[in-house]
Structure 1
Amino acid sequence: MTSLDLSPIGNCAQSALIDRNGRFVWACVPRIDGDPMFCALMSGRDAAEDQVGIWAIDLIDQVSAEQRYERNTPILVTTLTDARGNVLEITDFCPRYRRHNRLYRPNAFIRIVKPLSGAPRIRVRLKPAIDWGAQGAETTSGSNHIRYRVPGVMRLSTSSPISHTLSGQVFRLEQEHVFFLGPDEPFDEDLRVRVSAMYDNTKLYWQHWSRMLATPLEWQADVIRAAITLKLCVHEETGAIVAAMTTSVPEFPNSGRNWDYRYCWLRDAYYTVQALNRLGAADILEGYLGYLRNIIDATPSGRIQPVYGVGMEPILQEAMIDSLPGYRGMGPIRVGNQAHEHHQHDVYGQIVLSTVQAFYDTRLLRPPGVDDFRALESVGERAYDVHLKPDAGLWEFRTKAATHTYSTLMCWAACDRLANAANRLSLPDREAYWRDRATAIRTAIETKAWNGKLGRFAATLGGAEMDASLLQMLDTRLVAPDDPRFLATLKAIEHDLRRGDHVLRYADEDDFGKPETAFNFCTFWLIEALYLVGRHEEARSLFEQMLARRTHAGLLSEDCDLATGAPWGNYPQTYSLAGLINCAVLLSNPWSTVR
């Protein structure tokens, strides 16, 4: 059965998800939000079946599979064994390294296949799809290549017999073969030598990048794997960070909660850069700040959407796809996202929170100045203007609006951090201006979000709802960990939303009924809160439970089943991986304990 137990590869321009048997089941062209040339994940069928939208190297009579990443890289190695003891190894990666004083990251996939024992018999099924799996890509071939007319044209260059790939012929793997599926350009040198060099250079790039991360003492491998995967969710050409690599994986079975996450939510991106900043990954921050500056310049009216395309497209028209049945047959498949139409006021705070570190970080190649601060003030003005107005909230309710505490909290954070930045830039008049506005919003939260009858904060101003996002009062520093109001709210959250080792976003019915799965990021929020209020052992235990729920690749989706811990929702989810990193950094013993 199709599952989310998948391993991503990528190079910040192209990415793919590969199953436990080394089969490409998801990859979009020409970029992450495009038409999936490999769409078996959404076919409703087992990837072992012959179908379009897959790239499989099948070992005949296979009995076992093992899979691992090359240490500190997104280079994936799959080892397959057949019933006679023959063994082969598949190495998959997208090339990425510096060449000619710039990054070489083509829209390309590389597969290296070699026998490790005996003479395995294999079949290559390379069947790209077009029009969301409606048909196979048009194919032409030459003496040593195959061209596939997907959006654009991709060319397969390989050392293996072309006819075997075209026909699906079974053949003996008696030597190493390489496959390069990429731009429609011929190789002008020895293919094996070139691919070998690409492998070495790509491995070196990622291991050097990982080496520069300021990892915690504990859980280092887990943090590095999460950080690498977050980097794979970056569309480096523009600096955008997508929420996940997939679309339409339901939040729980047959829920209809199937959304397209292959776009840049400014909220999700904020949490991603926040987590990576804690590891010192300044390159992703710099790229994303460039993306934000362009978004701000393109919205002179002041309203900023919660989500944009990776190329900064403002219109993400939502549509249904009927050519594929969906993940495990659980449609619908959605392309685009209606959230681009929403008013979500928290976005103004997340823009400022993402940006403000730049005023303190002297590592950046482009340090911001007063002009950048002046441009950012327009975002703060918008935050102040809307902080008491209803919106769709961070959970993007489609049919109801309210004045959400989380949105108002983020508007406060925008004004508060602008005051801090003004102080950093020695602008006392602007510091006073933004401090006054922050104080006004803080007063509104403390008086309107506090429900005296219930003795806790509520999810809406003047309301009574419960929402796990109230935990972010601590992360934004609106309240201190020992604040009695927060402790009372934390107790209520655990009573209302905690289900054993899981946390719901909220328990009330929404546009699609009652939620039935836990939201992984909210569980990480609870772990942080537990630690900060002094419940250290409980926080560590809950964190270890979350680590145990990861896929074999060390990753998490958006949601998980309350009973089994099985992953649901789009994958890999940046929210969830950011939470993993944040908690590891917070909970780990310090390096000073090493003797």
Structure 2
Amino acid sequence: MRAEPLLPTAPALKHTYELGLIGNCAFLALIGTDTAVRWLCWPRFDSSFVFGSLLDTRKGGEYSVRPANGTVLGSRQYYLENTNVLCTEVETADGCYRVTDFAPRFAQYDRYYKPLMFIRKLEPLTGAPRVHVSCDPVGEYGRKTLSRRRSSNHIAYLGLEEEIRLTTNIPLTYVLEGEDFALNEPKYLVLTYGAPLEAPLESTAERFLGSTVDYWRTWVKSMSIGDFHQDQVIRSALALKMHQYEDTGAIIAATTTSLPEAPGSTRNWDYRYCWMRDTYYILTAFNNIGHFEEMDRYFHYIANISTKIKDKYQPLYGISGSSELTEQELDLEGYLGNQPVRIGNDAYTHVQNDVYGQVLVALLPLYVDRRFVNPERTNSETLIYEALNLIQATMDIPDAGLWEFRHLAQYHCYTYLFHWAGSHAARKVARALGNAEMEALATKLNEEAARRIEQCYNPELGAYTNAIGSPHLDASTLQLILMGYLDSSSERARTHLAALEKELKTPEGLFYRYRHADDFGTPETTFLICSFWYVEALAVVGRTDDAIREFEKLTAYTNHLGLLSEDVDAKTGSQWGNFPQAYSHVGLMNAAYRIAKKLDRPNFV
């Protein structure tokens, strides 16, 4: 019998998040290319979803504008230029229609108006499309079904702490009974939590739309950026801005929870919190684009936490500064069936000692940047002393490290790097305050941290390993170059970077965090911010052409709107992990800034 020829293996499909993000620094929502709201948490970033089909198609509720016959011939999704106003155009056999989605944000009465209000504008573009509008919010992560009450011009959804209200000029009967209708003129849907819309519908929605567009475009105009991949830097900055919970100043890691780092990996975490480890990088990003207001708010969030902590800092806190983030697993399908679905994050219980240096580096501008006035530097000596004392107390204590290993404690190079950087920052503060005693303590700790970093150096590899006595390389040690511990022109910086390239870089230019096994096995996907750290390091050591080439490779891993995930599968280019990942956008912004400075183009401001 003749054997059948082997069929060629089909290439793995590329997975991307076909979702657009809207927000106003009070809430965030993710909207699919079919107009369905896949994710919306109210009243806070870390609240239960009211629409969450991203994690459960049965329990997640629905809010969509679909063709009457259910058949979509094509769709196109885009942002109005230099805004966070999202447009989705849907083509059907009957015609084409557009849904414009936005969260109002603009200046009013010397403050920013940022209500828990989600506005959708429906308008026909061609033909005579018939559409079907569904609005079915849920509570308590899908465990609670809300009751509905019809009023004169709105539908109230009851059962949560406050009322959700849908105000619309679409006949309520069509929405309540699921009837389709001809879309032959603009229609408006205004969904609110708590305070309802009590103003004319059409004119108010149009006024809010115009004011929101103006706000975002003015915000973009005030950015100080070069012309290197300017469009992507703008989109990343707009995405990062939306992740700041303006009420407290906290910046969350990502919009979502429990999107897997790789399919079937069970690495499904809740990222709707503020990680102290990323403070330095976020503030650097805002400083690089010249945005002082966001820095100011985030400083106050960090300073508020600093004043109430005495014994130790946690790796992460809630957006209100809450310290207890108990992890739970929910009875939900999970994204594409990936379980578990988690809320809360037990990483708050971990020992992660780099946070003290992170806080000192973050707070440094409060004491040396003259844009901050004296009242913002109150209690300064106490704050600095407490952080320095915590560095001193933890110098000989192993920790979970940057990547938050759950069952492994080591003396991590990255932790000692931030002991070094934090004490260096404290020394500057001490000089600004004229405090010789503080300066002496900071100098002593700085020298001790440097001694520990050197214990991580492996002469056979010509590189620094991830921890004292460890043979493993780790992308976090790229920060030895970026933070200035290693002289960028030195042979040691060159060989260290070369060793990391050899061990952690993929042919596609992506970077793994590490390649050794952890609590969940060997990592399957690359971590996008590490790839951008690599680009930064190339720029810092003078390999500018390499940095540009690798940066441009990374821009291929955005979705259709320029939004970045946490992780990327190097083999398929697939996006995985929570989305959008604020820190991936931070990485892009900082890498672009380093390259633009190296290019030193005349129009760089």
Q: What interval of TM-score do these two structures reach, taking the shorter chain for normalisation?
A: over 0.9
Equivalent pairs counted in the alignment come to: 585
User: In the alignment, which residue of structure 2 is the partner of 1:113?
Assistant: 122
Residue 243 (1) aligns with residue 253 (2): yes
Question: Which aligned pairs between 1:208-247 and structure 2 lie closer than 5 A?
Answer: 208-247=218-257
TM-superposed CA distance for 1:107, in Å, is: 1.2
- AA aligned to 1:258 is N
Question: Which aligned pairs between 1:116-515 and structure 2 lie closer than 5 A?
Answer: 116-149=125-158, 150-301=160-311, 303-322=312-331, 324-364=332-372, 368-369=376-377, 371-446=379-454, 448-500=455-507, 501-515=509-523
Secondary structure, in 3 states, of the residue corresponding to 1:286? helix
Residue 590 (1) aligns with residue 597 (2): no
User: In the alignment, which residue of structure 2 is the partner of 1:32?
Assistant: 45
Whole-angstrom distance in 1 between the partners of 2:548 and 2:375: 37
Consecutive unaligned residues in structure 2, runs of 5 or more: 1-12
TM-superposed CA distance for 1:499, in Å, is: 1.4
TM-superposed CA distance for 1:376, in Å, is: 2.6
Structure 1, 425-434 or 448-457: larger mean CA deviation = 425-434
TM-superposed CA distance for 1:243, in Å, is: 0.5
User: In the alignment, which residue of structure 1 is the partner of 2:8?
Assistant: none
Structure 1, 272-281 or 370-379: larger mean CA deviation = 370-379
TM-superposed CA distance for 1:582, in Å, is: 0.7
CA separation of 1:364 and 1:97: change in aligned 2, threshold 3 A? farther
Whole-angstrom distance in 2 between the partners of 1:380 and 1:188: 53
Secondary structure, in 3 states, of the residue corresponding to 1:488? helix
- AA aligned to 1:191 is L
Whole-angstrom distance in 2 between the partners of 1:274 and 1:224: 16
CA separation of 1:255 and 1:186: change in aligned 2, threshold 3 A? closer
Secondary structure, in 3 states, of the residue corresponding to 1:7? strand
Whole-angstrom distance in 1 between the partners of 2:575 and 2:439: 45
TM-superposed CA distance for 1:186, in Å, is: 4.8
Deviation per CA, 1:289-338, whole angstroms, max 9, x where unpaired? 1111211122122x01011111111100001001x210101111001000
User: In the alignment, which residue of structure 2 is the partner of 1:6?
Assistant: 19
Contact 2:421 2:446 in 1 (8 A): yes
- AA aligned to 1:257 is R
CA separation of 1:479 and 1:186: change in aligned 2, threshold 3 A? closer
Whole-angstrom distance in 2 between the partners of 1:235 and 1:259: 20
Contact 2:227 2:603 in 1 (8 A): no
Whole-angstrom distance in 2 between the partners of 1:273 and 1:560: 25
- AA aligned to 2:174 is H
CA separation of 1:136 and 1:512: change in aligned 2, threshold 3 A? same
Whole-angstrom distance in 2 between the partners of 1:131 and 1:15: 17
Contact 1:502 1:518 in 2 (8 A): yes
Q: Of 39, 61, 75, which aligns to 1:65?
A: 75
TM-superposed CA distance for 1:410, in Å, is: 0.7
Residue 560 (1) aligns with residue 573 (2): no
Whole-angstrom distance in 1 between the partners of 2:101 and 2:30: 11
Deviation per CA, 1:533-557, whole angstroms, max 9, x where unpaired? 2222221111001111101121111
Contact 1:388 1:408 in 2 (8 A): no
TM-superposed CA distance for 1:118, in Å, is: 2.3
Whole-angstrom distance in 2 between the partners of 1:10 and 1:295: 25
Whole-angstrom distance in 2 between the partners of 1:439 and 1:19: 52
Deviation per CA, 1:124-174, whole angstroms, max 9, x where unpaired? 011112222235322222111111234532111111111111122110011
Contact 1:52 1:135 in 2 (8 A): no
- The normalised TM-score by structure 2 is 0.93
Whole-angstrom distance in 2 between the partners of 1:140 and 1:271: 47
TM-superposed CA distance for 1:346, in Å, is: 0.9
Contact 1:387 1:407 in 2 (8 A): no
Contact 1:451 1:463 in 2 (8 A): no
User: In the alignment, which residue of structure 1 is the partner of 2:3?
Assistant: none
Whole-angstrom distance in 2 between the partners of 1:55 and 1:573: 24
- AA aligned to 2:287 is N
Deviation per CA, 1:209-241, whole angstroms, max 9, x where unpaired? 111111122211211111111111111111111
Whole-angstrom distance in 1 between the partners of 2:149 and 2:46: 26
Residue 82 (1) aligns with residue 92 (2): yes
- AA aligned to 2:533 is W
CA separation of 1:591 and 1:494: change in aligned 2, threshold 3 A? closer
Whole-angstrom distance in 2 between the partners of 1:533 and 1:226: 25
Secondary structure, in 3 states, of the residue corresponding to 2:54? helix
Secondary structure, in 3 states, of the residue corresponding to 1:334? strand
- AA aligned to 1:477 is G
Q: Percent identity?
A: 36
- AA aligned to 1:138 is S
TM-superposed CA distance for 1:573, in Å, is: 0.7
Whole-angstrom distance in 1 between the partners of 2:355 and 2:178: 50
Structure 1, 52-61 or 205-214: larger mean CA deviation = 52-61
Structure 1, 67-76 or 530-539: larger mean CA deviation = 530-539
Consecutive unaligned residues in structure 1, runs of 5 or more: none
Whole-angstrom distance in 1 between the partners of 2:204 and 2:543: 54
Contact 1:240 1:288 in 2 (8 A): yes
